[in-house]
Amino acid sequence: MNLDEEKELIKRAKKDPDVFGKIYGEYYSKIFGYTLKRVANIDIAQDITSETFFKAFKNLWKFRWQNIPFSAWLYRIASNETANFFRKKGRKTISLEGISELISDSNPFAEIAEAQEQLKRHKEFLDLQKKISTLSLKYQEVITLRFFEKKQIKEIGEILGKKEGTIKSLLHRGLDKLRRQINATN
Amino acid sequence: MMENKNLIEKLERASLPEIEIASHKRRLKRALINEYFREERKGDVFNIVRKLVPLGAVAAVLVALIFNNLIFPKYSLAEAEKIALNDPQIKEWTEKGSVIKDIEIINNKAYILIQPQEEIQKPSAFLKAETSEIKEEFAGALVEVDFRGKKVSKIEKIAPEIASLTEKEQERVKEISTNDPEVNKIIPKEASILKIKTTPPSMKLKREDDSVNVVPESNTDKEVKIIYEYNRNQWESKIDLNKEEVKSVNFLGEVPE
């Protein structure tokens, strides 16, 4: 989807719940995947993803097109929400049960347990993520976006609202700190 | 000592988790769509009030109410669920453990998919005197809700897809289970196979223009269960047919007298 098509879709989403549903379907996996790679915990990733979409949804009505992809805007909210999580661990999160108490669903516990098992199998990723999570948030963001989300420097700049030069320098310093951290523990 | 180049290589080739929680995705979507309608209602009322201020606040509120509730009613998923759950048949199914899996709203109708809850977590709760005959099980239903009449207008039962396995397939399933070390560790050698059954696939609604179809969820595993029995004790092994491996082995408990 190019920027013009995306712009048109966002415009329609403000008036049509089906289009809104389509946009959600398009981006849910990306945002959940990103938050999971940031926090390496299924429950927390679910909470942050919920908060991200609620915040995005609340602001969709006043969303103004600024020539950056919609996904970059969503990633930015997810990054901010992840930062909020790290800043105040144990905060209150949005409960889907509270919002839609009438809504029942297939029992999600087995699915979550299975997902946790699946996550445990990615030992190399978990080891790296554990080390990355000890760095400052600004380094965590750029390293995760660059290597785990496979984003280009320009895209990371759009997501974080920073210049490409700044991203390159954050990446360089972040990698250096990560390497020293790994060497120190080995 | 690790160099920057090695670290970059390590980060680039790390195998990353590609996980999705389908139930969370569905629940969040429903919650967001509910919020959408709430916000839209607020927006509608605000716009109309603003236009009609010169005519007086009372008139504006009245017009807003008429527009929102009579001329252009916006139907919500929660409202559809509420109407459906008032229907005695649906109430009975949900009381027996079925759940609402998916909802689509088209014009002034809602289509609700109801399916039995998956058997998980508490194996002993499902223990029963199994027989080798296949009973007709409730596989789910597609329910049509008429918002204008505030009632359930149609209920279509979904045909239970008890895809019977061929003899060859049954043999293969037995072979996978018998050769599994976990099965051999937990289930006594003397135990006999009481039943082999396929698990009905998890379904979802697929909207096509002005109609909906019930289709299997694409990421659903194809699963077969083997029920073993020995000395009135029962065990169950679940086999993933796609991967041709045993997913889990559970002791179900003792069959009651």
B63/B87 same-domain check: no
**CB–CB of B8 and A53 under 8 A?**
no
Query: What is the reported pLDDT for B93?
Result: 84
CATH number of the domain at B131, please: 3.10.450.40
B48/B173 same-domain check: no
Query: What is the reported pLDDT for B65?
Result: 57
Backbone φ, ψ for residue B168 (5° rounding): -65, -45
**CB–CB of B16 and A37 under 8 A?**
yes
SS3 string of B187-242? CCCCCEEEEEEECCCCEEEEEECCEEEEEECCCCCCEEEEEEEECCEEEEEEEECC
Least confident piece of the model among A31-45, A136-150, B108-122: B108-122
Query: What is the reported pLDDT for B46?
Result: 47
B102/B210 same-domain check: yes
Least confident piece of the model among A23-27, A33-37, A152-156, B94-98: B94-98
Of the pLDDT bands very low, low, confident and very high (cuts 50, 70, 90), residue A184 is confident
- Which member of B18, B26, B36 has the closest CB to residue A20? B36
According to DSSP, the β-strands at B233-240 and B203-208 are unpaired
- A183 close to B (CB below 8 A): yes
Contact present, B229 and B126 (Cβ < 8 Å)? no
CA distance B111 to B210: 11
The number of distinct structural domains making up chain B is: 2
Q: What number is the ipTM of this complex?
A: 0.84
CA dihedral B2, B8, B14, B16 (to 10 degrees): 140
Query: What is the reported pLDDT for B200?
Result: 67
B81/B130 same-domain check: yes
Please state which of the four CATH numbers 3.40.50.720, 3.40.640.10, 1.10.1740.10, 1.20.1300.10 is assigned to the domain occupying A1-107. Answer: 1.10.1740.10
Tokens 């997501």 belong to which residue?
A159
Nearest to B67 by CA among B48, B54, B50: B48
The arithmetic mean of pLDDT across residues A8-16, rounded, is 81
Which amino acid belongs to residue A165? Answer: G
B69/B84 same-domain check: no
Interface-testing mutation among A62, A100, A146, A173, with chain B (most B C-beta atoms within 10 A):
A100
Query: What is the reported pLDDT for A116?
Result: 85
pLDDT, one tens digit for every residue, chain B (257 residues): 778 888 999 999 888 888 888 888 888 888 888 777 776 666 654 455 455 555 555 565 565 555 555 544 456 677 888 888 889 888 888 877 787 878 888 878 888 988 876 543 333 334 444 444 334 567 789 999 998 888 999 998 887 654 567 788 888 888 888 888 888 888 888 888 888 877 767 778 888 777 888 887 755 556 788 888 888 888 888 888 777 888 888 877 777 76
Query: What is the reported pLDDT for B2?
Result: 78
A175 contacts in chain B (CB < 8 Å): 4, 7-8
Angle, vertex CA A90, rays to CA A46 and CA A175, nearest 5:
70
Residue-wise pLDDT for A75-109, tens only, equals 999 999 999 988 876 444 444 444 443 334 444 57
Residue-wise pLDDT for A154-163, tens only, equals 999 999 999 9
Q: Is residue B9 assigned to a domain?
A: no
Contact present, A93 and A51 (Cβ < 8 Å)? yes
Please state which of the four CATH numbers 2.40.50.140, 3.30.70.2740, 1.20.58.340, 1.10.10.10 is assigned to the domain occupying A122-186. Answer: 1.10.10.10
**CB–CB of A104 and B100 under 8 A?**
yes
Classified as helix, coil or strand, B153 is strand
B80/B53 same-domain check: no
**CB–CB of B8 and A175 under 8 A?**
yes
Interface-testing mutation among B32, B101, B112, B122, with chain A (most A C-beta atoms within 10 A):
B32
Average pLDDT over chain A, rounded to an integer: 84
Global confidence as pTM: 0.54
A106 contacts in chain B (CB < 8 Å): 23, 99, 101, 115, 117-118, 202
Nearest to B227 by CA among B193, B176, B257: B193
DSSP letter at B132?
Answer: S
B143/B246 same-domain check: yes
CA distance B43 to B40: 5
CA distance A7 to A17: 16
B189/B87 same-domain check: yes
Domain ranges of chain A: 1-107, 122-186
The DSSP string of B90-128 is: HHHHHHTTEEEEEEEEETTEEEEEEEEPP--S-GGGG--
Give the range of the structural domain holding residue B227, as residue numbers without chain letter: 75-254
> B40: nearest CA in chain A?
A15
Query: What is the reported pLDDT for A79?
Result: 95
The arithmetic mean of pLDDT across residues A36-60, rounded, is 90
Contact present, B173 and B196 (Cβ < 8 Å)? yes
The arithmetic mean of pLDDT across residues A41-46, rounded, is 91
Query: What is the reported pLDDT for A173?
Result: 96
Query: What is the reported pLDDT for B120?
Result: 35
Q: Give the strands of the sheet with B151-157, arranged side by side.
A: B98-106, B109-116, B141-146, B151-157
Rg for chain B, CA atoms, rounded: 26
Classified as helix, coil or strand, B71 is helix
Q: How far is C-alpha A65 from the geometric centre of its chain's CA atoms?
A: 20
